[in-house]
Amino acid sequence: MTIPFYKYHGTGNDFVMVDNRHLIFPKNDTKTIQFLCDRRFGIGADGLILLENDNLTDLPAGKIDFKMVYYNADGQESSMCGNGGRCLTAFAKKLGIIHEKATFMAVDGLHHATISDTDLVSLQMIDVHEISFQPDYVFLNTGSPHHVTMVDDLNQFDVKKEGAAIRYSNLYGQAGSNVNFVQPLGGNHFRLRTYERGVEDETLSCGTGATAVAIAMQALGKTDATRIDLEVEGGKLQVSFSVQDGKYTQVHLIGPATFVFEGKIEL
């Protein structure tokens, strides 16, 4: 079987995209997904995303343009991926499904997005109403679970080692958590590096992680801004939100979604 695919990245967080509206992809074949994401033997990516029709959701206010089905590089279907959602919006535009606006269904619910002529995507994320404050870290869910802790020198920090230690610790059980390490750069400007579960390594960018860090920094009083600038290893992102009584709404993840190449692969 030959599968057409497209490769995208969002600030270095890269994905294999497949148009699966005709249900051609073997969705339960974990080994095939692992192979496609393998950087030595396959295409290479942090995850694989299927664009599908959404035929199950009743939305009286308007139509849903597509559904997002996301798999980590380990082959397992996973929780929400923010950069993946931004890249899928750009992919849908390339396919002619949408133009400037998108409404799509993901594992954590409905998302709205806008995309500019230069493929800058603003993706509305889920509201955040609960944040767990601990002495050395903050935990919150932004569509995926995120542990956020501050460090003094990100350049010298061993993200893979320390991230894995937290991800596999008793804190989060078998399911684990993504782990973000943050360094303030002044004002509303922060730098972060993320260890992602499912990839089991540091990634160049994590959209739900950037969203979690932005909200965590505001919640901790590290900034009073409601639009946060974030430096990730693969580029720059912004997160904006409204906050009232500790509840975060109108949360948007903003950044570029870049087409890399397309091809076909024999399975």
Residues labelled catalytic: 81, 206
Reference 196, options 185, 180, 182, 184; nearest CA is 180
Cα–Cα distance measured from residue 84 to residue 10, given in angstroms and rounded to the nearest whole number: 7
In sign, the C-alpha dihedral spanning 194, 198, 203, 208 is: negative
Helix (H, G, I), strand (E, B) or coil at 163: helix
In sign, the C-alpha dihedral spanning 51, 237, 210, 203 is: positive
Q: List beta partners, residue 71.
A: 48, 77
Q: Could you tell me the CA-to-CA distances from 126 to 42, 61, 129, 130 in Å, in that order?
A: 33, 18, 10, 12
Reference 87, options 35, 59, 47, 127; nearest CA is 47
* Cβ-count burial 13-27 (b if 16+ within 10 Å, e if not): bbbbbbbbeeeebeb
Helix (H, G, I), strand (E, B) or coil at 44: coil
